[in-house]
């Protein structure tokens, strides 16, 4: 885990960026164009450099905590998540592009969707540990 920056001004900047990014992540739950998980991970990175207390809070949050802990531990996605992410990305961006009348906005959405797809494609998929595999097989 990163330590907070020594400068109080830079810490305040990181905290502000973390709060703004987390607010966008929460909006991303309801708006298909905003990618929630990458924004939560970015907020955690900002909090790690700005406030140990806020970073700890986010790490132990009921919803966001497991996502951040898994990313910090493995720096990869569990198997089976990437196809779902691509599917949701295509559906949400296609619906958004279809719903907009402006050609520049459509092109911007298409470009953003392409960048997100390239980012997602580059994230490695990790193998399950024996414990995770056993847990997956025992669940219905």
Please give the pLDDT value at position 114.
92
Contacts of 129 (CB under 8 A, 6+ apart): none
Task: Please provide the average confidence, as pLDDT, over all residues in the chain.
Answer: 86
CA–CA gap between residue 14 and residue 42 (Å, rounded): 11
Give pTM, 2 decimals: 0.69
CA–CA gap between residue 75 and residue 125 (Å, rounded): 9
Q: Which tokens belong to 1?
A: 């885990």
Q: Quick check: 65 and 56 in contact, CB under 8 A? A: no
Residue with tokens 């949701």: 88
Is residue 25 exposed (0-12), middle (13-18) or buried (19+ Cβ within 10 Å)? buried
Q: Quick check: 64 and 58 in contact, CB under 8 A? A: yes
Please give the pLDDT value at position 10.
94
> pLDDT, tens digit, for every residue of 78-103?
888 888 888 888 888 898 899 999 99
């Amino acid at each position: 885990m990163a330590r907070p920056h020594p400068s109080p001004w830079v810490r305040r900047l990181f905290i502000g960026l973390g709060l703004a990014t987390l607010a966008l992540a929460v909006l991303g739950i309801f708006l298909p164009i905003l990618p929630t998980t990458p924004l939560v991970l970015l907020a955690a990175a900002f909090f790690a450099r700005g406030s140990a207390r806020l970073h700890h809070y986010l790490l132990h949050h009921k919803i966001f905590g497991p996502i951040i802990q898994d990313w910090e531990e493995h720096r990869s996605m569990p198997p089976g998540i990437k196809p779902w992410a691509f599917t949701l990305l295509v559906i949400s961006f296609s619906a958004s592009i279809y719903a907009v009348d402006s050609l520049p906005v459509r092109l911007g959405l298409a470009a953003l969707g392409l960048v997100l797809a390239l980012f997602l494609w580059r994230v490695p998929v990790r193998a399950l540990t024996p414990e995770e595999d056993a847990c997956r097989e025992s669940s219905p």
